[in-house]
Amino acid sequence: MKILWLKTELLHPVDKGGRIRTYQMLKELRKEHEITYLTLDDGNAAPDARDLSNEYCSNLITVPHSVAPKFNPRFYAEIAGNLFSELPYFIAKYHSPAMRQKIEDVLAENAHDILVCDFLHPAINLPDEINIPTLLFQHNVEAMIWKRHYQVANNFGKRAYLRSQWHRAVAFEKQACSRFDAVVAVSKDDAEVFRNDYGHGRVFDIGTGVDTDYFTPANGDRTTKPNIVFTGSMDWLPNSDAVRWFIKEIFPLIKQEVPEATFTVVGRDPFPDLLELAKRDTAIRVTGRVDDVRPYMREAAVFVVPIRIGGGTRLKIFEAMAMGLPVVSTTVGAEGLPVTDGNEIVLRDSPDTFSRCVISLLQDRQMASKTAETACRVVRDKFGWRSIAKQFEDIVVDVIDTRKDAAAESESIGHLQARSVGQVR
């Protein structure tokens, strides 16, 4: 197959969930299929990102695009201007007439079997007419993220803004989904939203994978120190909210019982007040972006996912499990993953219950090892990226075949109608 894959970023560095999922799946698909990767490029990718693109695509097409860095004057000016737009800001900032034109040019060549829109964001640049089957790959229900932002906000002005963004996200996401022949979600829960709330008739779901060759158990090197770790890009709002909530509401309760406990935050672009806090409190360590998260995970006794407002599924949970770490998460944090509380993972939603479970795992190493070993076995047996990519490939083939069958049926009906008219005459 020849696949036209639309994105809003180059994939290197492969350092956050959406990039990891796309990279691992495309790397598998590229073994059998020709991938044209058409993306916006804001100049912030790794210096060798273009050279490394041959790991996941056959042809690379980039369109220069500038996105305002968060919290600078241009960013706030765009936020203010967006108040009068029907589009949510997280979509409007990727509007690119140049990308739309480039998509039209590529489609005019009639060289591809299907168009895949990776995440909702590139959909703002779709041409009105698309002459091949289309598939929307949704890593999250984007509107759900904004709804949860609104629900946990405690500032009146912020709540009003987030509510507006949530409702705009619902409207755009529903309309965008309707343009595609099919939608692929990353969990059954998300798939139900696309079916029931957005009314799409063809929705599939695929599992979440993990690179089991890269993330391996520490075995005899397991730490005996009460270290707690969180990994994730800190420029993603659900992650920054999770860390703030953990430090403010949960970590102090843990310290009361385990005074020597430490908390390490691993991920790019940490927010300024977190960096200041780490300077004042030696129990909190903030690394910023790292080339390899595994050393920090191997130093940990417990992996935490205190996410309150996310969507989609968290790759970080499977990564921690594949490394043999016990995981404590909120229900939202583990949403969409085939895991069971008390078996492969511990799920708690209040600061008190969350902290007590972390304390138990820090103090009872036998219980921690049992939970971790169960999770590690399940993940390594069932959730390698090769099988996830095969699920996606089967869906792509089905969408292409269904479109062909519909075209053949339409053509057949047209012939019958023409014959009928001729006989009447």
Cα–Cα distance for residue pair 180/202, rounded to 1 Å? 9
pLDDT for res 271? 86
Give a yes or no: residue 33 inside a domain: yes
Whether residue 42 is found in the same domain as residue 175: yes
Whether residue 239 is found in the same domain as residue 324: yes
Rounded to an integer, the average pLDDT of 388-395 is: 94
Band the pLDDT of 424: cuts 50, 70, 90.
low
Whether residue 144 is found in the same domain as residue 246: no
Whether residue 249 is found in the same domain as residue 194: no
Give a yes or no: residue 272 inside a domain: yes
pLDDT for res 65? 97
The yes-or-no verdict on residue 42 having pLDDT over 80 is: yes
pLDDT for res 416? 55
pLDDT for res 411? 61
Cα–Cα distance for residue pair 178/182, rounded to 1 Å? 9
Cα–Cα distance for residue pair 19/235, rounded to 1 Å? 14
Q: Among 13, 158, 170, 7, which residue's Cα sits nearest to residue 86?
A: 170
Greater pLDDT, 189 or 204: 204
Give a yes or no: residue 421 inside a domain: no
Here the CATH number for the domain that contains residue 50 is: 3.40.50.2000
Whether residue 376 is found in the same domain as residue 300: yes
| Range from 39-53, 218-232, 348-362 carrying the lowest mean pLDDT | 218-232
pLDDT for res 394? 97
Rounded to an integer, the average pLDDT of 344-368 is: 95
Cα–Cα distance for residue pair 53/66, rounded to 1 Å? 20
- Structure tokens, 43: 């100049």
Calculate ∠ Cα 22-45-212, nearest 5°. 35
Neighbour-count burial for 153-165, b at 16+ CB within 10 Å, e otherwise:
beeeeeeebbbbb
Give a yes or no: residue 204 inside a domain: yes
The yes-or-no verdict on residue 186 having pLDDT over 60 is: yes
Give a yes or no: residue 159 inside a domain: yes
Whether residue 55 is found in the same domain as residue 131: yes
H-helix segments, 178-285? 188-196, 237-245, 251-257, 272-280
Whether residue 280 is found in the same domain as residue 183: no
Cα–Cα distance for residue pair 90/94, rounded to 1 Å? 8
Give a yes or no: residue 62 inside a domain: yes
Q: For 91-103, what is each residue's pLDDT tens digit?
A: 999 999 999 999 9
| Range from 161-165, 263-267, 367-371, 417-421 carrying the lowest mean pLDDT | 417-421
Give a yes or no: residue 424 inside a domain: no
Rounded to an integer, the average pLDDT of 258-287 is: 92
Give a yes or no: residue 420 inside a domain: no
pLDDT for res 159? 93
Band the pLDDT of 245: cuts 50, 70, 90.
very high
Domain assignment of residue 175, given as a range: 2-209+386-412
Rounded to an integer, the average pLDDT of 371-395 is: 90
| Range from 139-143, 315-319, 402-406 carrying the lowest mean pLDDT | 402-406
The yes-or-no verdict on residue 52 having pLDDT over 90 is: yes
The Cβ of residue 80 has, within 10 Å, a number of other Cβ atoms equal to: 9
Whether residue 401 is found in the same domain as residue 316: no
Whether residue 313 is found in the same domain as residue 406: no
Whether residue 369 is found in the same domain as residue 339: yes
Whether residue 243 is found in the same domain as residue 304: yes
Question: Is pTM beyond 0.85 here?
Answer: no
Band the pLDDT of 190: cuts 50, 70, 90.
very high
State the total domains in the chain. Answer: 2
The yes-or-no verdict on residue 419 having pLDDT over 80 is: no
